[in-house]
Structure 1
């Protein structure tokens, strides 16, 4: 789950799932996903994979560790440094947007002031959308929804809609075409508003978070940038992979396609950030999304042994989860551990 604890386990006490995960992660150009609930040791295995990469000669400045929040990144940093047993520069540990900002700072085009666009906070983006809707937004929408255009709820729905569009790699023209093709004028209106919204943001020199990830994916299409990123990176390690949205997963798949190992851990039953667009098929589609030519098959290692929760508690939690919709797991889970 998000904010997962690190289960402290000496090397000799690693279970067969953790050993299988580390063996797979050590392969060149690996794409490996540990799948399990809280307390199964998947985050511990992820930390060990970072340490193993460092001990195998990968410079820490060539490793990136991604997680869901800054506090979680700080916890992982402390655990990795403690396991390395020496004080040194830690790997880059951040969130996906934080990593995108670093890539834009290193490789992105500069504005007139010599800097990259500023990223809007959530409240700033909400206000931007609301002001645009109030200023000139009504004429973009079909008559039946115009009475709602100035409401706070409509503002939130529009903000969510343009974020989901970007997370799926859609441009305004794509939304307009889809709306016209399917007879949904609301989508046409959203596409037209999205186009105006992007023009305003570009004029102000700012991005929202979805646009930041989208622009970073476009940046990696530059052959020189891609070559330099591939040469510098020795691995990207991702905790809470199931919390990522489709665009963030696409970014990682692009990096893996450059030959960079992607090592991840996920709890398929937990998506704290579903309201932000966490991809419900993040785990199920891992093997196909990370099956890049020349990189070998992606490996999914199931973690099933809980190392910290009493059996009675596990049984109670299992009874609750049994009422939830079943999570779709990968059809090909890779080699059985052990």
Structure 2
């Protein structure tokens, strides 16, 4: 029997950087609005943390201090750092600071108001739930037996059944909600600009809202909001109830906003209600580092802040600029200034100076003919920095434009020379995780048999589910081909391979060693089909059935146990891979559980469409193992706000990477 004790990881509080008089001025600010602008590494977040700790040290109740940031993960990390700093300043444990994302804060307002009225709590409308409703409504538009109720333009009609069209339509509706644009206003804009697609989308939006209202009235009895509607609904509630608004303004004594450049118009409207009119409000921003424009963020909000948030006397909010970089030396700053010349907008905050004792740093630019040669150079450079200069693996990072496209050659090169790497679950979309992709492919082929073609069959055989290597695959093909030719069947080996996975009885005469991978995949396909066909089965049930039958849990846990027992380097690498894979599968089950909670009757196909349609990493509450010392591989988007001693930007001269412009392919 094993006993485990769960211990909360202590928050890591960074050193205070308050030798800067501008930072000290911001920390001491307690009256009216203030905009703090600073480039990367100027200590914006540290200054915010010090300011909150100072208010608590002065006797302010932490629950009267509201700190707003963009996402749940960012809010969680910031909350831990603020809590650690408060304990360090006051020497005592106090109540948890109010650190929230805008969506979480808005949801809390709506839930508290519903409880006071004795109504059911509101609920968050998830992406798959929205996609399900949208695609059901779009089916009416492609029904040839009835006229199109929305009037979609003829050039868009071939796309109406696709997942991409539904996703882009949901994106359009969310951006409209963030800007307070309803169906009538969207239709008016479409007619004025000659956009027939916007007029059709306005008709669709009107019916979508009506369907949601009907579901709320006849279903659970609680109102459902998506992330975009959530903030707008909270602002509307406060506007319609002056007494509630006044009570909320009295409750909040100080408000701080991190990453102002990543906010959208709806969030600014809510902020102006709770913190406008001269209340103590401090917002931190770097106009050049807005990374959520594809989700509606508008960096021009930074420039509009002083005029939007005025003092009690009516004067524009004061703006201060943090001009000292605590992250980069003179050489690095000179290089970033050369790059920043191409950026638009105000440039005063880009004129950073290094701290006096900062080493200059080194900037190198290398050009390579091939991806392979680039990856080999990166691997050797990291290994040399670790062995000769003593840089810890965890103090190095490789930043790429696209994890999906650039990771494989980099990981192969790094592992070949013994460089440990880690790709966090939050840095890679779930369906691209190496351990998750085969499970999703297996489920897709089980519930949609036509998806099982030669390419899918080979991928499953070579995955951990089959465990075949190229030699085993070739022998299997030869065995199937020999049996087919003996009976006069001249079909190619690819077709025979697919048939063997659908009907494993044909594998009986193939040598046992070469047939084992195909038999394992065929058995798992049958398990998935049987679980999915059971009455009331959910995707969670199907996943559990496949997971239990695959034996992967015992295999990966065994790899971890063997590494602890013998300490061999090979076993260590296998244990790291197993640990990473278990984290990814945990995230998959967490996503499936939340999907089933929200859509208990939805089919497995809907879940697969939801997960496979993710283009950015999804948020997850699943626990993640500690990787220890390893070089982190991540995108520039995920690297925002982080720092290392050595950073490699790989593939900087190529035109790859995420292309968010295509989201506007239909809607402009």
TM-score (norm 1): 0.85
Distance 2:321 2:63 in 1: 30
Query: Are the aligned partners of 1:6 and 1:43 in contact in 2 as well (CA < 8 Å)?
Result: no
Distance 2:97 2:256 in 1: 10
Higher helix share: 2
User: Is 1:8–2:18 an aligned residue pair?
Assistant: no
Residue 131 of structure 1 and its aligned partner are, at CA, apart by: 2.4
Distance 1:147 1:42 in 2: 49
1:45-194 alignment to 2 at 5 Å?
45-85=47-87, 86-108=92-114, 114-136=119-141, 138-140=148-150, 141-194=152-205
Query: Are the aligned partners of 2:141 and 2:149 in contact in 1 as well (CA < 8 Å)?
Result: yes
Query: Are the aligned partners of 1:240 and 1:266 in contact in 2 as well (CA < 8 Å)?
Result: yes
Distance 2:42 2:305 in 1: 20
Distance 1:17 1:38 in 2: 16
Structural RMSD (CA): 2.6
Residue 233 of structure 1 and its aligned partner are, at CA, apart by: 0.9
Question: For 1:180-231, what per-residue CA distance to the aligned partner results, in whole angstroms no more than 9, with x for missing partners?
Answer: 2333222211111111111122223321111111101101111111111011
Query: Are the aligned partners of 2:186 and 2:198 in contact in 1 as well (CA < 8 Å)?
Result: yes
SS at match of 1:8: coil
1:159-238 alignment to 2 at 5 Å?
159-205=170-216, 206-221=224-239, 222-238=241-257
User: Is 1:285–2:311 an aligned residue pair?
Assistant: no
Query: Are the aligned partners of 1:32 and 1:264 in contact in 2 as well (CA < 8 Å)?
Result: yes
Distance 1:186 1:10 in 2: 52
Deviates most, 131-140 or 118-127:
131-140
Residue 282 of structure 1 and its aligned partner are, at CA, apart by: 1.9
SS at match of 1:116: coil
Partner of 1:37: 39
Query: Are the aligned partners of 2:13 and 2:84 in contact in 1 as well (CA < 8 Å)?
Result: no
SS at match of 2:344: coil
Identify unmatched segments of 5+ residues in structure 1.
Answer: 331-338
Distance 2:53 2:316 in 1: 23
Q: Tell me: CA distance 1:272–1:233, structure 2 relative to 1, closer, same or farther (3 Å).
A: same
Deviates most, 99-108 or 49-58:
49-58
Residue 108 of structure 1 and its aligned partner are, at CA, apart by: 4.0
Greater CA radius of gyration, 1 or 2?
2
Of 22, 26, 37, 2:30 maps to 26
Q: Tell me: CA distance 1:296–1:103, structure 2 relative to 1, closer, same or farther (3 Å).
A: farther
Query: Are the aligned partners of 2:17 and 2:46 in contact in 1 as well (CA < 8 Å)?
Result: no
Question: For 1:82-129, what per-residue CA distance to the aligned partner results, in whole angstroms no more than 9, with x for missing partners?
Answer: 332320102211211000111111124899x93233112233323332
Partner of 1:263: 282
Deviates most, 195-204 or 236-245:
195-204
Query: Are the aligned partners of 1:33 and 1:264 in contact in 2 as well (CA < 8 Å)?
Result: yes
Question: For 1:10-53, what per-residue CA distance to the aligned partner results, in whole angstroms no more than 9, with x for missing partners?
Answer: 55x2x122123234x311xx211211122101111111221222
Partner of 1:336: none
Distance 2:302 2:130 in 1: 30
Q: Tell me: CA distance 1:263–1:87, structure 2 relative to 1, closer, same or farther (3 Å).
A: same
Deviates most, 212-221 or 280-289:
280-289
> RCO greater where, 1 or 2, for CA within 8 Å and sep 6 or more?
1
